[in-house]
């Protein structure tokens, strides 16, 4: 089934550890996004990529990094995890920039930092 695959589904991580959340899409969408969802705060954009080879900062980029080596993959890395990064992380993609380009979401990664 075409769509977005995120891995892992959930993870418990010790503070200070490095963690990479994986996101792969098979729709050949140009743009990809990472959000975190926290109770009472809704979805907040962490980083995005409008096309392979380019990335941009969203609303809450600190403590996170991304790369976009190819069209399909958009990993999110926490270099040194802190408890405030406990959240549900969603990856999304859209066909292009501008115009009517609704975003399609993965099922999320639930991350707990202890």
Partner 1 sequence: GEDVEQSLFLSVREGDSSVINCTYTDSSSTYLYWYKQEPGAGLQLLTYIFSNMDMKQDQRLTVLLNKKDKHLSLRIADTQTGDSAIYFCAENSGYSTLTFGKGTMLLVSP
Contacts of partner 1 in 4-23 (CB under 8 A): 4
Q: Tokens 């999304």 belong to which residue?
A: 92
Nearer to partner 1, 4 or 113 (CB): 4
Contacts of partner 1 in 46-85 (CB under 8 A): 48, 50, 58
- How many residues belong to the site for partner 1 (CB under 8 A)? 27
If one asks whether residue 1 binds partner 1 (CB under 8 A), the answer comes out as no
If one asks whether residue 100 binds partner 1 (CB under 8 A), the answer comes out as yes
**Contacts to partner 1 by CB under 8 A:** 4, 31, 33, 40-43, 45, 48, 50, 58, 90, 92, 94, 96-108
């Amino acid at each position: 089934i075409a769509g977005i695959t995120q891995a892992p589904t959930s993870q418990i991580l010790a503070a200070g550890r490095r963690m990479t959340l994986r996101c792969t899409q098979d729709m050949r969408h140009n743009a990809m996004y990472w959000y975190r969802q926290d109770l009472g705060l809704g979805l907040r954009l962490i980083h995005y990529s409008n096309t392979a080879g380019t990335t941009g900062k969203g609303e809450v980029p600190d403590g996170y990094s991304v790369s976009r080596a190819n069209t399909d993959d958009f990993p999110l890395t926490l270099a040194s995890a802190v408890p405030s990064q406990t959240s549900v992380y969603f990856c999304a993609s859209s066909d292009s920039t501008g115009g009517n380009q609704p975003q399609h979401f993965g099922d999320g990664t639930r991350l707990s930092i202890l």
